[in-house]
Structure 1
Amino acid sequence: MIRPEFLAILRCPVCCTDATALHVAGLREPSLACDCGAMFPIVDGIPDVMPHRVGEPAKNYRTETLDNVLAGTYDLLMPLMSATAWRCDPLHFVDWANMALGRAQGGFHLSLPISTANILRHSWGPHLDLQVVAVDSSWEMLHRAKRRLRRAKIDALLIRADVERLPFKNGTFASILSVNGLHTFDNRAYGLAELFRVAREGGTLAGSTLIRDQGRFAEWVLDRYEHYGLSPMLRGKHFVCSELAELGGKVSYESYGAVLFFAVEKLAETSAQHPSRLH
């Protein structure tokens, strides 16, 4: 079901402590269980480790339908929008994914959001020696990614999880890739802090995000994104770079049109505090 090496890196997003381990429970209806009493179902081989946030309603028909529409059109729209509205060659995404996978040789790599796994499929090669974990909050994206990874013979653990409450132990991943993820986070400070928490010392958080103030047409499209809630955290390049710098690592970046590509190396002395612990 779930290989031991993957179980070893998981932690409960409810009690949020590395001291308690998740284990598989049940045979007919398997789930991940924690000693704290939390249970997370495994659906079609994909653990649903999405804790319910207090005061947040469950997804309704409208938001679930929107997720499904986005998943169904993602492979067509992403390269088209990149080349036209964002003025960014789609091959840049593959280049940055190649670098991210290369940094994870011999260790664990996290892709979040995995979307339909199209970028990972184009970047994968038989020379790679690493364990891949793929996370998304959309079931439709995860199911499409699962089919694509199976066809490409990429053995990965797919998980449905919340970027603000990741079910992984501290310092797990040698490399983390977030392709067009930052601008979709509800709370980017929390999301970035969580991604940096699960990166190991010397590891790298890399990815891409849409940015503001990069042309009239791009701005018009991004206005529509914000209006319909597709991208609630759209900001300019300097604002995003300052947020990345607050993580305390070594930041590098470059931009092509309305897309900012970034990498943050987690230094040994980095001790950025999680926003939830700031007063």
Structure 2
Amino acid sequence: MRRSARGVERHWRHQRLIPAVYDFVVEHERLARLGGRVLWGVDVRAMYASFAEAGRLPTGAAVLDVPCGGGVAFRGVPPGADLRYVAADLSPMMLRRARAEAGRRGLPAVFVRLSVDRLPFPPSAFDLCVTYNGLHCLPDPTSAVAEMARVLRPGGVLRGSAVVTGAGRRFDALIAVFRWRGDFGAPGDVTDLRGWLSAAGLEAVSVSRSGALAHFSAVKPGGDD
């Protein structure tokens, strides 16, 4: 059931219903708590708490949010924060929704349509890369994580969440359905996730799982101590 990168791009370029439903749910935290618990057995509060990390960056820091979806992570940036925020996604529909959300929040983000495994940015361009609920949709998460690590500055942080296998038969069966539909690419288990991060040369790898959702962070070596 492994799909090519081009096949995944075609699928998400034209997909409408699943992204719209997902975006509506995650924009309403109480609904997301219920949906996350029922669907994946997850307590999503850790994900919402992690959004705030972008707001703790120093003035002028650069953030890459990919895939940004409808802009749910924007809520972590306080009004007036002086950040260079790049929001990227493969789906034109989600980028339109993200632009609208940024407008409502007064966030002067730059929006880019792209594939995660081909980031059009130079090395060491960002202080923080966030990738929430996207890795499991990709056909080659290893390459995607390597690209995100490439564009991080030394000392920069990669943080995000992803659906993982191995959390139980019910969850693995649901993942199989999403893969059959083409919504999921090649999700791995927690060990795989750690391996993707380490293979990209990242350090201080931290992975925790709640239900079938893993939260992770890692640091690009070489920053100031």
> How far apart are residue 56 of structure 1 and its match?
4.7
* 2:151 is the counterpart of 1:180: no
Quote the offset at 1:161 in angstroms: 0.8
Q: Using CA pairs below 8 Å that are at least 6 residues apart, which structure has the higher relative contact order?
A: 2
Q: Which of 20, 23, 34 pairs up with 1:72?
A: 20
Structure 2: which 5+ runs fail to align? 27-31
Please give the secondary structure, in 1, of the residue aligned with 2:127: strand
Deviating more after overlay: 210-219 vs 129-138: 210-219
Secondary structure of the structure 2 residue equivalent to 1:145: helix
Cα distance in 2, alignment partners of residues 147 and 127 from structure 1: 17
The answer to whether the 8 Å contact 2:149/2:201 transfers is no
SS class of match (1:204): strand
1:137 equivalent in structure 2: 90
SS of residue paired to 1:142: helix
Deviation at 1:145, TM superposition (A): 0.7
Range with bigger deviation, 129-138 or 236-245: 236-245
Closer, same or farther in 2 for the Cα pair 1:186/1:105, shift >3 Å? farther
- Partner residue of 2:157? 204
- In the TM superposition, what whole-angstrom CA distance separates every residue of 1:105-158 from its partner, at most 9, and x where no partner exists? 5310010000011232x3221363311100000000000111111011111001
Matches within 5 A, 1:6-155: 56=6, 64-65=13-14, 67-78=15-26, 79=32, 80-103=34-57, 105-120=59-74, 122-126=75-79, 128-155=81-108
Amino acid corresponding to residue 147 of structure 1 in structure 2: A
* Shift, 1:104, TM fit: 5.9
State the TM-score, normalizing by the size of structure 1.
0.70
Residue aligning to 2:115: 162
Contact (CA 8 Å) 2:123, 2:152: kept in 1 or not?
A: yes
Query: How far apart in 2 are the matches of 1:57 and 1:169?
Result: 26
| Change in CA separation of 1:253 and 1:59 when aligned onto 2, cut-off 3 Å | closer
Judged with a 3 Å threshold, the aligned counterparts in structure 2 of structure 1 residues 56 and 256 are, in CA distance, closer, same or farther, namely closer
Q: Which has the larger radius of gyration?
A: 1
Given the superposition, is the C-alpha separation of residues 58 and 182 from structure 1 closer, same or farther in structure 2, using an over 3 Å criterion? closer
**SS of the residue 2:39 aligns to:** coil
Q: Which residue of 2 aligns with 1:259?
A: 213
Segments of 5+ residues of structure 1 without an aligned counterpart are 1-54, 270-279
TM-score by length of 2: 0.85
